[in-house]
Amino acid sequence: MTPKGEWVDMPEPHPLNYFTQYPMLRDESGDFCSSCPPERRLAEAKKFNIRTELTLVGTLAGFSIYDLYYRFEGPGATDTKLILVKIGGDQYREIYHREPTQVDARAKPSVFVKVGNERFLFAEYIVGGRSPSTYDYFWFDQDGATFVDFAPILTAARPLIPSGKTLRWIYEMDGKTPGTHYLWDHTSPLVSRVRLTDKIENNSPVVEAGVVEVEFKFDHGRVVTTKATYTPDAH
């Protein structure tokens, strides 16, 4: 995620100093020295005094996982966060990259969460303002990290949404962030509550209009929905 948008790709691994030396070269927004030739970009990147902070989160499936923060200085400065996975030797793959979208945004340190017998890497990003936080999860096996895509929950919920109703939060309409899937206290079955509203003003729901509850499970990091139920008077 950058101030210009969000996407998913599969970057190649690099030595650790690729990420820690001259952080401005890791800018994903495309704004830094965008028309510069490579030698000029490097010279410009060397002018920035940006502190890097590398922390071991722990290991999953034998992979060491690190949070890397770029600590920018100056009024209104906010930090960029990367998650790096060591895949052997001095080779690290970047699986998460958050450049703050506004001055009060914060990327919290990563943690592990347990769901049943499975463990996930969890990253919370506080968007700032009145926008809800975002939650990203990664499942690991011997092949590395799998990004957990919760879109199947919205796919299961949409056919049950009555005419005239809409999702409670505008940001949920992108199909990527369904309901409150951060409620990991549930035992089996897991449930995501997709809240609905009759009307939205100023990015806030005006009238609650029920809930679609979607039961789901995980299969090798994939979300598999098993049941969906609409309750009109739920809050």
**pLDDT single digits (tens) 31-61:** 888 888 988 999 999 998 899 999 999 999 9
pTM recorded for the entire structure? 0.84
φ, ψ for residue 107, nearest 5 deg? -105, 115
Write down the number of H helices and E strands in the chain. Answer: 3, 15
DSSP string of 95-116?
A: EEEE--SSTT-EEPPPEEEEET
**Strand 222-231, strand 80-88: pairing:** unpaired
The DSSP 8-state label assigned to residue 27 in this structure reads -
Q: Is 49 helix (H, G, I), strand (E, B) or coil?
A: coil
Q: How far apart are CA 100 and CA 102, in angstroms?
A: 6
Residues 65-80: what's their mean pLDDT?
83
The single-letter code of the amino acid at 26 is R
Which strand ranges, in their side-by-side order, compose the sheet holding 190-197? 166-167, 190-197, 208-219, 222-231
CA angle 153, 159, 160 (to 5 degrees): 90
Higher pLDDT, 156 or 207: 156
Which residues face 56 on adjacent strands?
66
Rg (CA), the chain: 20
Looking at residue 199, what is its pLDDT? 64
Element (H, E) at 30: none
> Domain coordinates of the chain in residue numbers?
16-147, 151-231
Are 113 and 101 a contacting pair, CB within 8 Å? no
Sheet strands (E) in 38-183? 51-60, 63-71, 80-88, 91-98, 106-107, 111-115, 118-126, 134-141, 144-147, 166-167
The reported pLDDT for the residue numbered 104 is: 84
Residue 203 C-beta-side C-alpha neighbours within 13 Å? 6
- Contact between residue 14 and residue 26 where contact means Cβ atoms under 8 Å apart: no
In tens, the pLDDT along 92-149 reads: 999 999 988 788 888 999 999 888 788 999 998 887 776 667 888 999 999 999 999 8
Dump pLDDT digits (tens) for 167-183. 765 444 343 444 445 44
For the chain, give the mean pLDDT: 83
